């Protein structure tokens, strides 16, 4: 059953999502070679608790951490570990919060130091595909229009792999609500988008083949061919004319630019600019 949100509920969702954005920005200042994802996870959990919220992922189906930390060929759901990040690594960080009974959910991929051009292009184009998907999230369109936009901007245009087994989703009082929002599909198909529908759109794109596998830990999803994977996610509400983005990359991008250990030059390669958002 799809649960449409009132304006008051949308603002509660916005607050939860802005906490996610600020948690990302807090971590982005600390990402550098030698730092472990376990350390970053501890920072995030403390930041969330200090803001009177809960980490949405911790304990969800027995997931052991507050954040998903997926490095290099890990697509999503990676466990925080004691592996020390190195120059040339990328790390996709997925963060969820529960604040005042509503969930925030957003993901971002960070690149450490010097990177291959193909990696920078993957990040730029995956981020582009997220915003192209969001452009379709308006009243009267369908879920398939979002899915087609993401697939067209990645798989069809550049030959990247679009993960089929994992999707975006509705978001609200629960972390995962209906409907599912895949990153591949046909225009004009799927659930019709109506005002007040809140969804998380999250392209999961691989540099190589789209085939994936799950590690023995039961969570970490990796590419079968070992290729790098990028993951960006926004939570949005469907509106007439243009979607309202409830999460924000603005504080993250500021922190990313200020951290000399992070490579933000992929943003210079991007063709699609984000709509204006509040900081």
| Cα 18 from chain centroid (whole Å) | 14
pLDDT of residue 58: 97
What residues of the chain score a pLDDT lower than 70?
278-279
> How far is CA 157 from each of CA 91, 125, 152, 233, rounded to the nearest angstrom?
24, 10, 6, 20
Q: Which two tokens stand for residue 147?
A: 């899915």
- CA 156/CA 244 separation, integer angstroms: 27
Residue 257 domain flag = yes
Closest by Cα among 89, 237, 122, 137 to 177:
237
Residue 276 domain flag = no
Specify the DSSP class assigned to residue 22. H
Q: Which two tokens stand for residue 133?
A: 């998907």
- CA 238/CA 10 separation, integer angstroms: 10
Residue 124 domain flag = yes
Residue 279 domain flag = no
pLDDT of residue 185: 98
- CA 208/CA 160 separation, integer angstroms: 6
Residue 204 domain flag = yes
pLDDT of residue 278: 55
Distance from first CA to last CA of the chain, Å, rounded? 33
Range of the domain at 100: 7-269
pLDDT of residue 236: 98
- Edge-to-edge order in the sheet of strand 212-214: 74-76, 221-223, 212-214
Q: Report residue 204: phi and psi, to 5°.
A: -120, 105
Residue 104 domain flag = yes
Please check whether residue 32 is in contact with residue 25, taking contact to mean a CB–CB distance below 8 angstroms.
Answer: no
Residue 275 domain flag = no
Residue 2 domain flag = no
Q: What number of other Cβ atoms are within 10 A of residue 78's Cβ?
A: 27
> How far is CA 81 from each of CA 19, 33, 65, 254, rounded to the nearest angstrom?
24, 14, 10, 26
Rounded to the nearest integer, the mean pLDDT of the chain is: 97
pLDDT of residue 62: 95
* CA-angle at 28, arms to 104 and 175, nearest 5°: 15
Q: Looking at the 3D structure of the chain, how many domains does it have?
A: 1
Residue 222's domain is classified under what CATH number?
3.90.230.10
């Amino acid at each position: 059953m799809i649960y449409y949100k009132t304006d008051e509920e949308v603002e509660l969702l916005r607050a939860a999502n802005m906490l996610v954005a600020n948690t990302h920005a807090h971590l982005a200042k600390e990402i550098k070679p030698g730092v472990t994802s376990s350390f970053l996870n501890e920072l995030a959990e403390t930041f969330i608790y200090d803001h009177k919220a809960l980490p949405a992922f911790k304990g969800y189906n027995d997931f052991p951490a507050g954040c998903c930390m997926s490095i290099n060929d890990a697509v999503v759901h990676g466990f925080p570990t004691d592996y020390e990040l190195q120059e040339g690594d990328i790390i996709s960080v997925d963060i969820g919060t529960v604040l005042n009974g509503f969930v925030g959910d957003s993901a971002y991929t960070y690149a450490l130091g010097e990177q291959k051009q193909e990696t920078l292009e993957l990040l730029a184009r995956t981020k582009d595909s997220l915003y192209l998907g969001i452009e379709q999230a308006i009243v009267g369109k369908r879920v398939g229009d979002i899915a087609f936009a993401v697939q067209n901007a990645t798989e069809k245009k550049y030959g990247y792999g679009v993960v089929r087994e994992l999707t975006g989703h509705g978001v609200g009082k629960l972390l995962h609500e209906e409907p599912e929002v895949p990153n591949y599909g046909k225009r004009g198909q799927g659930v019709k988008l109506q005002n007040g529908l809140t969804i998380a759109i999250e392209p999961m794109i691989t540099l190589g083949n789209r085939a994936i596998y799950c590690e023995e830990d039961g969570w970490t999803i990796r590419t079968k061919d070992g290729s790098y994977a990028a993951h960006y996610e926004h939570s949005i509400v469907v509106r007439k004319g243009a979607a309202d983005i409830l999460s924000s990359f603005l504080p993250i991008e500021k922190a990313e630019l200020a951290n000399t250990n992070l490579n933000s030059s992929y943003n210079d390669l991007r063709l699609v600019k984000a709509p204006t958002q509040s900081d």
